[in-house]
Amino acid sequence: MRRLARIAPGLSTLLGYSFSDDFRHDAIAGLSVAAVALPVSIAYAQLAGFDPVVGLYSSILPLVAYAIFGTSRQLMVNPDAAACAMIAAAIAPLAGNSAELYLSLTTALTLLTGLFCIAASYFRLGSLADFLSKPILVGFLNGIAISIFLRQIGKLLGFSVESSGIIPRLLEVLGKIPLIHGATLAVGLGRLCTNPWATGSAMAAITIGVVPAACFAANRLAVESCPELPIRAPLQP
């Protein structure tokens, strides 16, 4: 039992869970996390090249796994922009144009990554991160940020960016400036401008973004939004 608790420390906590004392607080915490995690997960799924429904499942299952194998009560486990960009860069050349193969390879990659993380936790390998050079980490994160910015700027401006590579994407964005969609840009800039005071309230931040987009869509101003999500698991035919 002690060895099992070392691999899955959350099991002992779950076995001793007090529904009457803890559920109310956990429900409030869960709603707060969901308000932040669900919209972000949909965006990150599209960043990695998946349908939005994949983001919903990827924001649920990792939390369940971390509740069993994790050790922190405060850590929020969710898709990350850097990880999504790395998955897209690693898997896309292998999958070619096959969406099914892309999804299968990514599922295998994420499963193996999770198993490696559990093994690293068991052998206490977290200290190896101290040997990573800070300039390398800073350069990596800055490169990821630039790449993500050039991938997503087209959605903010209202047109698609088809080129691959940082310089070709930048040139394509500059060449398509006359195609900027005013209503889409207005919604995006309005949401960005409200970030400083809406950061503390996730629900307020979501409302600020959703309400104007819905109003523009209702007025037929062609502001593209997330499509209706199918009620099925991503791997279900």
pLDDT value for 70: 78
Identify which of 61, 64, 67, 62 has the alpha carbon closest to the alpha carbon of residue 11. Answer: 67
pLDDT tens track, the chain, 237 positions:
667 777 777 787 777 788 888 888 888 888 877 777 777 788 788 888 888 888 888 888 888 888 888 777 777 667 777 788 888 888 988 888 888 899 889 989 988 988 888 888 778 887 787 787 888 888 888 888 888 888 888 888 888 888 878 888 889 999 999 988 887 787 777 767 766 555 455 556 666 666 666 666 545 666 666 666 666 665 555
Locate 193 and state its tokens.
């401008």
The pTM for the full model equals 0.67
Identify which of 27, 35, 77 has the alpha carbon closest to the alpha carbon of residue 201. Answer: 35
Give 221's contacts (C-beta < 8 A, 6+ positions apart): 183
Locate 221 and state its tokens.
């101003």
Alpha carbon of residue 172 to chain centroid: 26
Torsion of CA 173, 182, 54, 33, to 10 degrees: 120
